[in-house]
Amino acid sequence: MPVARREDLVAAMQGDPTAVDQLLPAAKARVLDMDVAARRTEVEWLGERIDQFGRDREYLADSDAARVLAVMHDSGARDAAETRMSREHAPILSEFWGDLVRRAPSEVRDTPAAMLVLSSYLDGKGAQAWVAIDQVTASHPLADLVAIALERAIDPRELERAFRADPSGGLMQQAALRDTTAHERRYGHDAHNGPGVDGAGPESSAPGR
């Protein structure tokens, strides 16, 4: 399967955040006012909404997009999103998170971009994962983890198995893969000519590719 041109992948991650941006302040204030029980209910709603997208493939309304982006700073919400990641569901989840990357205001864009990094990697799309990594403006454990996996040409199946073994914390515990230079290497690779882009990583190693 041919690798998409980098400029096309970059363009596919750009969009208009105006509508969601107008709703985001109220959505963030709502989350800040929640008690523990309400926050737990909101996290459950997020999981249900992701599952619903897998069934109907209908993109979120602006109000729901703002609601998702507002709660994603919560570790429970991120866990709910990450535990749904798998090679089987990666293509659909890339659609979900890719849509939010296009619509998210800059201050809340990093987390959906990191989710897109992981889903792209699990789908065997290394080039897309690298471009999604570039959308993350600050060091992010999830994006750093995938960057290292791409550079080391780690098969997505290996990371998926590690994640399944400890879904509550294994992913973040392995974020650096015992490598303390992840952040520097992410932003220092030569035009992304590393594994996953030139055929040495998930783009070519994933089953069926």
pLDDT digits (tens, 9 = 90+) for 130-187: 999 999 999 999 999 999 999 999 999 988 887 777 655 545 445 445 444 444 444 4
Sequence letter at residue 54: G
The pLDDT value recorded for residue 2 is 60
Is residue 128 included in any domain, yes or no? yes
* CA 147 and chain centroid, separation: 12
pLDDT value, residue 181: 44
**Residue percentage of the chain with pLDDT more than 70:** 78
Domains contained in the chain, number: 1
Residue range of the domain that includes 177: 6-205
| pTM summary value | 0.82
Reference 117, options 182, 64, 53, 67; nearest CA is 182
Structure tokens at 130: 């690298």
Could you identify the residue written with the tokens 């990371």?
159
Extract the tokens encoding 129.
């994962």
1 belongs to a structural domain: no
First-to-last C-alpha distance (Å) of the chain: 6
